[in-house]
Amino acid sequence: MQLVFATHNANKLKEIQQLIPSFIELVSLDTLGCTADIPETANTLEGNARLKADFITRTYQLPCFADDTGLLVHSLNGEPGVYSARYAGIENNSQANMTKLLHNLKDKEDRAAHFKTVIALNINDETHLFEGKVEGVITTNQKGEHGFGYDPIFKPNGYDQTFAQLPLSVKNEISHRGRAFKQLIAYLKNI
């Protein structure tokens, strides 16, 4: 089965390639020759995942899935949330995003947060949604060389290391994206 992953994010693609079962041939946007910057103009993660999947399905008439992920910090009323990738500006700069978040948390005792991923799958003229979530805390400084985005400042509950310190195999097992993707795979195995 061919399935398009609607992302230009090489790090997300790498994570998903580690999880993909052999019965799925993962097709990247680069393989399709799609260079479009797919708009993410919805005000929810679900809405953005649908926008991206719908764009690819409409343009290429192929089964497709897309995700949107947000980091929600409890003491900041859910910020950065749906704006996680562009929290510090439209440049989508991870370092600037982390710097802004750590600055906004500097006087907060409550550093609890969670990552949430929503995957929209378009297949057989239907859309299906899958959600994954992981609870944790925002550290006071960056730690680790792996991962991407907010990984160097997010420590999942039950672990002494940030996502950027954990091996990819461990991160994929416990992460928001890994959990949502496992639901997607379970669904695909039964169609």
Report, as residue numbers or ranges, the catalytic residues.
Answer: 68
Within 13 Å, how many C-alpha atoms sit on residue 11's CB side?
A: 11
Burial 1-33 (b: 16+ CB within 10 A, else e): eebbbbbebeebeebbeebeeeebebbbbeeee
Alpha helices, DSSP H, located in the chain: 10-19, 29-32, 45-60, 94-104, 168-174, 176-189
Q: H/E element holding 137?
A: strand 126-138
Residue 183 pairs in a beta bridge with: none
- Give the type of residue at 52: K
**Distance between CA atoms of residues 187 and 152, nearest Å:** 32
- The secondary structure of residue 124, as a DSSP letter, is T
